[in-house]
Structure 1
Amino acid sequence: MPPTARRVLMGLLLLAAAGFARLGFWQLGRLRERRAGNVVTAAARRAPPIALTPALGRTDTLAEYRVVARGRYDHAREIVVRGAVLQGVPGVRLVTPLLLSDGGPAVLVDRGFLPAPDAVTVDAKGATEPGEVEVSGIALPMPAGGGEPLEHGGRITWRRLDLTGLRARMPYEVLPIVVQQGPNSVAPSFPRRAAPPPISDGPHAAYAVQWFLFAGMAAAFAVLVVRGNRAGPRPPA
């Protein structure tokens, strides 16, 4: 390989190694942020359950806290979140507005998973819970936007919960959280309640190792290029 080409290749390899290393350190930073957030989440879940009442005031700070609410479900405005999968089985998630007993805004309750062959079409008539109910679960923040509502079989389905889109369709105020109802021994088989989202470090450590390996490989190839350049061409025999 000509010397100029070797120098260009070595420079590109060193540049790639630096870029890979930077991505590795970025993932380590993300890992530190994730662990700091995990400490806050774990503390919130250990706290005593908070009763959702109109007198509570702001609820957007309740993310990851255990909450309890009493009221009646508005099944007429039930929300179907399409594209769910549970243990390889396609289905939907059933989210129902709960009208609080003490009046005030409604809170959305993720009541769980219902199987559906196409992950869209579902008959939720058998999943109604009439009368006053008490709901306990984890409060999770509700994203704004990206709901992508679609009409299918006379029912609106959503790609995900969308606070802005849902508030525009509801005749009453909706709190900016969704209660993920936890499993219990008296709950029906379906909707299948979901366990709280796990607290974990995520994939950041593995990604960091991956990027550092790429950086090491690129640097090693650069060293091989330098050594090959120093060795030079062999004289003819």
Structure 2
Amino acid sequence: MPDSPAVPTRSRARRALVVVAIVLASLLISAVAVRAGFWQLGRHEARATAIALFDENSQLAPVAASEAASDGSLADDEWRRITATGTFDTASLTLLRNRPIDRERVYQLLVWLDTDDGRSLLVNLGYVPVPGPTEDLAAPALPDGSVTVTAVARAFEADDGRRDSGATRIVPTQVPAPAGDPYDAYAVLREACADDGCVDHYGAGQVPLPELSLGPHLAYTWQWFAFAVIAPVGGVLLARREWTLSGDGAPVATASRVRRAPRRRSGPSDEEIEDALQGPDGIA
């Protein structure tokens, strides 16, 4: 019976190259997972810091903006209620587009308040609904005289460079230049009191403060770190399997190539027994 053809095996050098590639790929995947884990951990810590600052500053009594910024920065008092007295620069009233509230398309209202201390504070006055195709925008009427505002201090957002219809961020460059030196933060209006009374917003409603939560970043952190451990372990197991599979050069037998030897009979067949019972002339 002819021998089965030998299964070709890869050379030792080629197998070593494949094993090294597998190990390096698993280490690279692990490094990327570690980096992603620390990135998620950083986001978790940033949110935790923001929540701690909110919990601390939101409980403080209102303070004058000039007093809060006496150390040079109002942004350090983010989430604290501040007060300021001055006049609105009505010519600077700007509609911030693409900034929905509770998934409703609205325009948020930004304006400079020229304070009595000679500086300018950017105030978010509220919002108005986006008008329909046949509707006119109802811009709110702002008081001309002195007004005292109570607002929540917020740090300016990162400027994404978008303006006009594409504007999304609250930054000083979204509005005309102020008359005075601007504060390094803006304020979300909670109350404005003029000679004719007090209101809590201008427009259709008050801009709500965001709801802060830790989110899933810590869970994602542990998932990435676990994957960073699993990747090299899996790579080593895969590399070991690759190295040992037919590594000695012996052919690997398969079910299709295994041929069984014919089974030998343990006794005479039925035909042989019948011939033996008959005589030499064929008569029993």
Q: TM-score range by the shorter chain?
A: 0.7 to 0.9
CA contact (8 A) 1:80 1:158 kept: no
1:45 match = 58
Q: Give a deviation string over 1:149-204, Cα, whole Å, max 9, x none.
A: 34x7xxxx84423335757x233332222111248996469442222233332453
Question: How far apart, in 1, do the equivalents of 2:90 and 2:136 lie?
Answer: 14
User: Given the alignment, which residue of 7, 18, 26 partners 1:13?
Assistant: 26
The answer to whether structure 1 residue 174 and structure 2 residue 182 are counterparts is yes
Counterpart of 1:14, as a letter, is L
2:271 match = none
Name the SS of the counterpart of 2:170 in structure 1: coil
Moved more, 127-136 or 179-188: 179-188
- RMSD in angstroms over aligned alpha carbons? 3.6
User: Given the alignment, which residue of 191, 197, 203 partners 2:210?
Assistant: 197
Once the two structures are TM-superposed, the CA of residue 146 in structure 1 deviates from its matched residue by 4.1
1:163 match = 172
User: Given the alignment, which residue of 137, 146, 150 partners 1:123?
Assistant: 137
Moved more, 66-75 or 49-58: 49-58
Residues 114 and 165 (structure 1 numbering): CA distance in 2 closer, same or farther, change over 3 Å? Answer: closer
The answer to whether structure 1 residue 110 and structure 2 residue 124 are counterparts is yes
The answer to whether structure 1 residue 235 and structure 2 residue 258 are counterparts is no
Identity %: 25
**Structure 1: 4+ residue segments shifted above 3 A:** 53-59, 131-134, 143-150, 164-167, 182-191
The answer to whether structure 1 residue 80 and structure 2 residue 95 are counterparts is yes
Name the SS of the counterpart of 2:34 in structure 1: helix
Once the two structures are TM-superposed, the CA of residue 104 in structure 1 deviates from its matched residue by 1.7
Counterpart of 2:181, as a letter, is E
User: Given the alignment, which residue of 99, 108, 114 partners 1:93?
Assistant: 108
Q: Give a deviation string over 1:12-49, Cα, whole Å, max 9, x none.
A: 11221133124313432443354244323321221111
Q: Structure 2: any 5+ residue segments left out of the alignment?
A: 1-9, 193-197, 259-284
Question: How far apart, in 2, do the equivalents of 1:219 and 1:55 lie?
Answer: 52
CA contact (8 A) 2:89 2:112 kept: yes
Once the two structures are TM-superposed, the CA of residue 205 in structure 1 deviates from its matched residue by 1.3
Question: How far apart, in 2, do the equivalents of 1:55 and 1:41 lie?
Answer: 16
Moved more, 61-70 or 157-166: 157-166
CA contact (8 A) 1:73 1:96 kept: yes
Counterpart of 1:160, as a letter, is R
Counterpart of 1:109, as a letter, is V
Question: How far apart, in 2, do the equivalents of 1:147 and 1:106 lie?
Answer: 22
CA contact (8 A) 1:183 1:195 kept: no
Q: Structure 1: any 5+ residue segments left out of the alignment?
A: none
2:235 match = 222
CA contact (8 A) 2:127 2:202 kept: no
Residues 163 and 190 (structure 1 numbering): CA distance in 2 closer, same or farther, change over 3 Å? Answer: closer
Name the SS of the counterpart of 2:100 in structure 1: strand
Once the two structures are TM-superposed, the CA of residue 85 in structure 1 deviates from its matched residue by 1.4
Question: How far apart, in 2, do the equivalents of 1:230 and 1:56 lie?
Answer: 68
Asked which structure has the greater CA Rg, the reply is 2
